[in-house]
Structure 1
Amino acid sequence: MKTSVIISSLVAISLTQGWAYAQVYDLPEPGGGASITPAQVLPFDMSDVQYAGSLRLGRMSRKEEGTQYRVLLEPVARLQKMDLRMAFGKARVREAWLVTESGNRIEISKYRATGVLEASTLYSSENFSLNENIKEVQLLGEAFSDDAEIIVTAVSENVLPKLTLWKAPVEVNASATSSYEMDRSVQAQPTAVRQGNCVNGFCIGDVVIYMRNRGKLVEINRDGRVVLIQRGIRKIVKTSQLQRPLIAPYTY
């Protein structure tokens, strides 16, 4: 009986050792087997990013010789182009200049005698190739209606500029004075003022921001509210609830 128990124990030990050896034998050699290749992280291309700051130039002067308006940029920015959009009424730009951080003045050639700009007209400048930051944009403009209002937009490649408007009447070819009175009329927003396909400066086809999401303005109601398409859904909202996208890609 004892002999049978001893033989059974030896057989069990032998089988256990054989299984253990088999497990060791079946393990892959160090460094062998399938390898995991980490996913390649592609760098983000910042060359397509643009920043746009806008300002409403309201209650423009109808002075025949033109009135000079100074648009100050803070912080200074390297501009790629300028856009002018007539929100209301009619006006024209006689000339426009960029003022660099060092004080040099560079003429915006496409804004030399633009002709009469009408409501909802978008007028873009040439593309700038500048190696210096811009601190100011000077416009010599003349209104042809009492409600003339232009939206001035500066498009930058390196920073989001905040535009502040200062203005003072300046005779043509006369040197600008050193003191300027701030035009607080920029802050005044008319209630449901419609001009053609625009209302309160927002026009049909504009890309707008509503509740932190982009949408497209497609219709203007008689009560001054607008209809926009946002994620495939039609929404009727007030223009006071809308904002303009400031970070590009920059589109209207």
Structure 2
Amino acid sequence: MAYLSLQDVTYSYAKNNMIVDAVNFDVEKGKFHSLLGKSGCGKTTLLKLAAGLFTPNKGCILFQGEEIKPSEKIGFVFQAPTLLEWKTVVDNVLLPVSLKRKVTREQVERAESLLESMGLTHLKQEYPTRLSGGQQSRVSIARALIGSPSLLYMDEPFSALDAITREELQDDLLHLCEVHQMTVLFVTHDISEAVYLSDNIAVMDKGSIIKHFSVNLPDRHSTDFRYSGQFSQLCLEIRTAISGGQR
């Protein structure tokens, strides 16, 4: 049984506006999976369906064999950090907890530990407007991890950042995934980002998954790998698949 399984999932906003078209897709536990494609191909809608934020018109989505629904086992990082400007950094991280129950000392300690792992301990009492874009993204990731999720959904979380900050956050994310043994479903339109981060890549076009790629290359989480011939060749193969748009 797949850890997360999308079975014949179809979704449309209107009768003649198909966004996701009969998608079958399995997510393996402990792996980093990316949905890759041009803008408007349906990848963000599919991500929200997979997270239980949308309900499919047809088909089903199973998480550990049961119908998916939002829970503390699931974390979600949106494209924009969406931090509350009137709350401190640590209070923003604790927001998912404080909305449901009184925050405990243990949860505060966990939030502080997550901020430490992100290199943000010195900013925990600052407000979001005092942070850079990269720092805000780190806070949003820490917030998604406060409930110790086993499955993390991410919707182009680094798209607005400069190239160097983006690479640093990619490495931070991979480290967190290893430490917390998380399964990730990640949306991006950046081919090199998908290749660097992912174990598996699903290419989408017009609401369907048209091709799958496995990234089984040595030392693929190193700076040198980003500039290797193997990396470039795989990026080219994926670029060709996206351009072709053939099922």
Q: Could you say which structure has the higher strand fraction? A: 1
Same fold, TM-score > 0.5, yes or no: no
TM, length-normalised to structure 1:
0.28
TM, length-normalised to structure 2:
0.28
Highest RCO, 1 vs 2 (Cα 8 Å, sep ≥ 6) = 2
User: Which protein shows a greater Rg?
Assistant: 1
